[in-house]
Each structure stands twice: as structure tokens, then as C-alpha cells.
Structure 1
Amino acid sequence: MSATSYAAWTWTPGAGLDGLDLTLLPLPTPGPDEVLVANTAIALNPVDWKMIDWGRDDWRQGQVPGVDGVGRVVAVGSAVNLRVGTRIAYHQALSRGGSFAEYTLLDAHAVHPVPDALDDATAASLPCPGLTAWQALDKLPACSNRDVLVTGAGGAVGYLLAQLAVQRGLRVWVTAAGKHREHLLQLGISGVFDYRDTQWSARLREALGPCRLHAVFDTVSGSHAASLAPLLGYNGHLVCIQDRQETAPLPAFSTAISLHEVALNSIHAHGDALDWQELRQAAASLMGGVAEGRLQAPAIQFFDFAELPEALRRLKSGHGSGKWITRLSAPAINA
């Protein structure tokens, strides 16, 4: 590997998306437990523009944002048992240099080998939404033949979560824009309700009949999730994928629901070896499911790396559909 520097989009405190600069940075050398990856596909996620707008206490001028990418390992640390040239996907910690770059330095335990049958762009579309969906569903005790609701199934997290819930044997109801209705029904969803219909929750109650929901997976906000808590039955589960419940949404000793928060980034600071083993198994299952046709990945919309800030603006404003992906040239690797 002859490169000594690489291009990366860097962050300016307080400047939001307008403060992103395309900069040349010196190429790092992996520490003992790290790998250096040459990115070949980079995916955008809502958390990216949120962190760029909001900032973080541990971010400084020149921080490289971005959590999801796919690439090839070009250098490994002395304690890493991974072959140079391995194609991997990853979800990077928000506190570290991110994926909006030609190269990313990663902890070796946080990389996931990509199946040969899966192309780089599709693999890049999966880590953040797919692992978030897996974590959300994993909050539920093992069960089947129960009714659950997934809000925002037109988005990547809700889309993958709804499919995973169907595969678990749950009866899945979703909210989504009307344009997604027929496709979602073809995936085994029991019913699709247009979230713009002010009566959608009443229509869901009617469809459920005497049953109540066993779980609500909400991708909108904490307040939105709280408004759905009355739909839950005894010992139900309210799973917040955006925000969390700071106060109980229902009176004590009523339906006795459980409250759950989902925070994929937390594993980087608080996960132990077993947690990472389970996450890697989940990533392998997700990518394998897509590669083998058992799981459908979100639709992809491509953009040029040089236009990354504009693509983030469009994602933030809700324009376009599917996952925003940029592709980079694969490097020449001498394994």
C-alpha cells in the first residue's frame, strides 16, 4: 500500500452540514487490535446528519463523521487474525473517525465479513438499520403468534424490522406511506396503515378485534411511542428506537408494560466480548439472509462522494427514497 494520505469529509463545530470540508488526512497505522479499511461503499443514516448538526462532547474540529461502510482490509494490527484483502462491513463508533472517507480505522472486533454473493452497496446499506432492527426485536422474549406494530416501515429500520418479526412468527402490523402498502403486504405483513390518516390507530384496533398488541416498535420519537402505549395489552412491550421514555406513559399497575430503549452505538462503549459475539452473529445472519434471498434489503439511491453534504441534506429533508450510498474505487492490495 503506497498511499500516505486520504480524502475525508471533516466536521466543523457549530457549522452543521455547511461546515463539512473535503480534506486530506495522513493515513493512520493500525494499533495491535485494529484494522485499516479502504472503503468501497459508504451509506448515509439519519444519525449522521443529526450528529453533524448537534455535535458531540467528544468531537473536535476535523472529526470524520459516518457510521456505516464496506471496504477491504488493507492493514492489520499485530494481534489481529484477519487476512489483508478481506471484504468487510462495519458500524463505526460515533466517537471514532467515521466512514465518510477513503479509509477508516476500526476495532477488529467491530468488522463483519461480507458474503461473496452480496455486493458492496447492498452490504453497506445493512449495518446501522439492520443491527438496530435486530437489537429492537431482541428486546422481546421469545414468542410467536402475537400481534406487534412497527411504525415507519417505509424507512430502512422499520422495513428490516418488520421482515425479521414476520420471520419470527409474529403477526406484524405497520404504518407506512400508502405507496409502500402493496410491497409490504407481499412480505407477509398483516396490515399496513397510512400514518397520514388521523384514524389509523382506530383502524388498527378494529383489525385487531378483541386482541391487543404484544409489542410496539416505534421509529418516530419518544412522544409518538408514548401515544401508542394504550394499544398494548397486559405485559406488553414498548420499544423506542428514537429517544426513550423518561416517564412511564401509563399508570402504575395497569397493563404492566415494559419499556425498552434501543441504542446501537452504546455497544462500542459498554459491550463485552459476549455482546460483540452476538452482534457479529446478527450481522452474519442479516447479510446471509439478504444474500440468500430470505430478507430484502432497502432500495438504494446512489450519489457521488464529492456530493456527500448535498446527499445528507436531501436525506434530512426527506427527499428521495431508500438508502443513500456512494461507491469508491477498490484499491490494489498486495496480500
Structure 2
Amino acid sequence: MLNLTNVDLSLPQMMRAIVLIEPNESIRLSETTLPVPECSENELLVKVEYVGLNPVDAILSKSGFCQWQYPHILGLDAVGIVVKAQKGVYPNVGDRVMWHASMSEQGALSEYTKVPNFAVSVVPDEVDAMTAAALPCAGMTALISLEKLRVTAGETILIEGGAGSVGQFAIQFAKQRGVDVFTTASKRNHKLLKQLGADVVFDYHDPKLCEKIRRELGPQGFDAVLDSVGGESTIRNIELMRFCGRIACLRPLPYFEQDLLDRKGPTISIVSLGGAWLDNSLCAQQKMGFMSKVMLDSVAKGEIQTPDLQLVEFTADHIGDALNRQIGGSFTGKQIVKVSD
């Protein structure tokens, strides 16, 4: 917890924000000035320090979202200092908090934002603010995927796209559970993923990928697959699973031939982090808060490491460029916007 004397409680009426005026393919953003949000009884006013960028931010910048009002403030993952809270509401003024915001509400790429008090986790002193901003979306997606897959010690899992942020977290959390981890990545990232604990890493560009996986794995097939790619890769991954194997999908499902489903009998799970908010599930939102604490504790103890962090300036042009990099391919780190000191 920070000393309250270090927190500026003379709050301004207006703030800088980076907004999407309308969805567009090139992700053109604008800087504007907006009123500092007014909070209800269970909401905290937070001075934003860092915002973590995710692929979903870039995808929705292009397509828009049905519940958004424009101009829309982007940014789902954030860390900041509580500067205003109703008496008796926890966390307290001066606490540093981390959260994953509702997809349907205004985001966190602004100097101040409001967030429900039950949706935040207090950041321990052992974890710096920039590192904490890298955790929510990718880390919780990895944890929820592994929970849906119910992987246990001695089982095998294929983690597609292991060099992405979700993949890097999933490899580490899966190894904590004693699972044998197979993953795919470009050759330049194989050493990194081995260091994170992956047992076998395959080159996803390899035209003989399936043949090499079967040779390494044997005839039994994977117990579980974390599929972050979608499309034809999902069909291929089900072919590589054992009968009644489990697959957690982060992307929209392709069309499945009935023969494939009959032969493999897969258990298919959809991972939707935003669904906790979109379905107004207070239980799911509170569970996300618990997962945030698990991640923070793991980082504080040195049990989990984050992807390489890359700082992004708090300007419309720099953030637009960063979002394009998120979905441009071959990106392995985590981009973090520094909003304020």
C-alpha cells in the first residue's frame, strides 16, 4: 500500500483520453479531453498508471462492438492508484490495483477511470505496476483455459501459439500442474519456450508438422489442446487428440464434418473472458478477481514470469501503431502504455 502523502488528491475536472472515433481498418485513434468520471457507491476512481494492450483491443478497433458508444476509450487491462472511494469501500485510497475491465464499458486509456471495487486486485509491493499491467487478459485466459481442460499431472497438452502472451502463461501454469507440454512457435522462439518449461516445441511453419507431432507423441494423441489460432488449425488439432480429448478454443469455431466429431468425440470448450461482464455474472467476475490474486502471488514469488515488456507512449499515433503490431504476426512480447507516473 502506498503512503497517502504520495497520492495527489486534488482531482482535476478534465482528463486526457485516447479514443476510437469509429471503427476503422487502419486503427486510427484520436486524443481528446473528457470529464473525469463520476463514481457510484461501489465504484473506485483510479488514476491510471499503465494499460496493457491485447489482440482483442486491435480486433475490436477494426470491427467495433455492438455495445460501444463513440467516441470509445480502448484498453481492458490496467493498473493504477485508487484516488477516490466511498467510506468503507475496499480497496482504500492509496492502494495500487489491477483489473480487467468490462468489454461493454469505456476502457482504461485515460488519465482516470472508474471500476467496480469487486473487480480489482490489490497489487503486492513485490510486483511493479508495469509488470502487473501485463497479467490480466492473457494470464486469466490461460488459467480459465486450463481449468476448462481439467489437465492433471502426467497428461499431455498441445498449446498452440506458445510464444504469444496467453501461450507463455499457459506453458508455465501447465508445468506447475505436472503436465507434459507440447507447443508450436516460429523457430526463433523455441529457446524461450523451452526456458519457460515446454517439453517439446514444433515449428508451426513446418509442412510436416502433423507427422512430426505424431512421431514425438506416439499413437495415443493429446489429452488436451489449448487452441488460440482457430479455423483449420482447430480441425487439425482435434485430429491430433485422443478419443474424447478436450479442446479449449479462443477463436470462433470452424465448420466440423460429422465424421470427425463421431471419430474423436471431443469435448469442446469456448473461452470467453468478456462473458463474465456481458452476462452480468457477478460470480464469474469475482472468480476473475480470485484468478488475478493467483497471478499476482505467482509473480511475487517468482513462480511465473511475464513476456518481455515493451513501453508505448500515451499518444494516439503510438498506440495505434502498437495495436497494429498486436495482430501483424510474429509479435511475442507484451506492449504496455505508460499513462502517468
TM-score bracket, normalised by the shorter chain, equals: over 0.9
Preserved CA contact (<8 Å) 2:51 2:79: yes
Q: Take 2:222 and 2:247, find their aligned partners in 1: how far apart are those partners? A: 10
> What value does the CA root-mean-square deviation take over the aligned residues?
1.9
Residue in structure 2 matching 1:181, options 170, 176, 190: 190
Q: Take 1:177 and 1:142, find their aligned partners in 2: how far apart are those partners? A: 25
Preserved CA contact (<8 Å) 2:36 2:113: no
Residue in structure 1 matching 2:301, options 261, 284, 292: 292
Does residue 325 of the first structure (1) align with residue 336 of the second (2)?
A: yes
Runs of 4+ in 1 over 4 A off after TM superposition: 245-250
What SS does the corresponding residue of 1:41 show, helix, strand or coil?
strand
Q: Which runs of 5+ in 1 are unaligned?
A: 331-335
Does residue 312 of the first structure (1) align with residue 320 of the second (2)?
A: no
Residue in structure 2 matching 1:207, options 216, 225, 249: 216
Does residue 13 of the first structure (1) align with residue 22 of the second (2)?
A: yes
* 1:24 to partner: Cα distance: 0.4
* 1:260 to partner: Cα distance: 0.7
Residue in structure 1 matching 2:78, options 60, 69, 76: 69
Residue in structure 2 matching 1:82, options 91, 97, 116: 91
Preserved CA contact (<8 Å) 1:8 1:100: yes
Preserved CA contact (<8 Å) 2:46 2:113: yes
Partner in structure 1 of residue 289 of structure 2 = 280
Residue in structure 1 matching 2:65, options 25, 46, 56: 56
Residue in structure 1 matching 2:269, options 252, 260, 271: 260
Normalization by structure 2: what TM-score? Answer: 0.91
Q: Take 2:174 and 2:115, find their aligned partners in 1: how far apart are those partners? A: 31
Q: Take 1:276 and 1:189, find their aligned partners in 2: how far apart are those partners? A: 30
Q: Take 1:2 and 1:101, find their aligned partners in 2: how far apart are those partners? A: 14
Q: Take 1:246 and 1:34, find their aligned partners in 2: how far apart are those partners? A: 42
* 1:313 to partner: Cα distance: 2.3
Partner in structure 2 of residue 164 of structure 1 = 173
Partner in structure 2 of residue 154 of structure 1 = 163
User: Which residue identity lines up with residue 54 of structure 2 in the other structure?
Assistant: N
Q: Take 1:142 and 1:313, find their aligned partners in 2: how far apart are those partners? A: 34
User: Which residue identity lines up with residue 61 of structure 1 in the other structure?
Assistant: Y
Partner in structure 1 of residue 135 of structure 2 = 126
Q: Take 1:181 and 1:56, find their aligned partners in 2: how far apart are those partners? A: 36
* 1:275 to partner: Cα distance: 2.5
Preserved CA contact (<8 Å) 2:89 2:117: yes
Alignment of 1:242-261 (within 5 A): 242-244=251-253, 247=256, 250-261=259-270
Partner in structure 2 of residue 333 of structure 1 = none
Once the two structures are overlaid, the 10-residue window that deviates more, 246-255 or 100-109, is 246-255
Alignment of 1:27-38 (within 5 A): 27-38=36-47
Question: Per the alignment, do residues 176 and 78 of structure 1 end up closer, same or farther by CA in structure 2, a change over 3 Å counting?
Answer: same
Q: Take 2:14 and 2:247, find their aligned partners in 1: how far apart are those partners? A: 47
* 1:66 to partner: Cα distance: 1.1
Query: What is the CA deviation profile of residues 268-302 of structure 1, one whole-angstrom value per residue up to 9, with x for unaligned ones?
Result: 12253432332222111111111211111111111
Partner in structure 1 of residue 5 of structure 2 = none
Query: What is the CA deviation profile of residues 283-333 of structure 1, one whole-angstrom value per residue up to 9, with x for unaligned ones?
Result: 111111112111111111112112212222232323654011122333xxx
Q: Take 1:173 and 1:184, find their aligned partners in 2: how far apart are those partners? A: 10
Q: Take 1:149 and 1:299, find their aligned partners in 2: how far apart are those partners? A: 23
* 1:136 to partner: Cα distance: 0.6
Q: Which runs of 5+ in 2 are unaligned?
A: 1-9
Query: What is the CA deviation profile of residues 9-37 of structure 1, one whole-angstrom value per residue up to 9, with x for unaligned ones?
Result: 11122434554110000011211121111
* 1:142 to partner: Cα distance: 5.2
* 1:193 to partner: Cα distance: 0.2
Q: Take 1:127 and 1:318, find their aligned partners in 2: how far apart are those partners? A: 21
Q: Take 1:81 and 1:32, find their aligned partners in 2: how far apart are those partners? A: 11
Question: Per the alignment, do residues 141 and 248 of structure 1 end up closer, same or farther by CA in structure 2, a change over 3 Å counting?
Answer: farther
Preserved CA contact (<8 Å) 2:24 2:63: no
- Alignment: residue pair count: 330
Q: Take 2:60 and 2:162, find their aligned partners in 1: how far apart are those partners? A: 23
Q: Take 1:174 and 1:18, find their aligned partners in 2: how far apart are those partners? A: 31
Partner in structure 1 of residue 242 of structure 2 = 233
Preserved CA contact (<8 Å) 2:109 2:339: no
Preserved CA contact (<8 Å) 2:104 2:278: no
Once the two structures are overlaid, the 10-residue window that deviates more, 310-319 or 1-10, is 310-319
Question: Per the alignment, do residues 245 and 108 of structure 1 end up closer, same or farther by CA in structure 2, a change over 3 Å counting?
Answer: farther
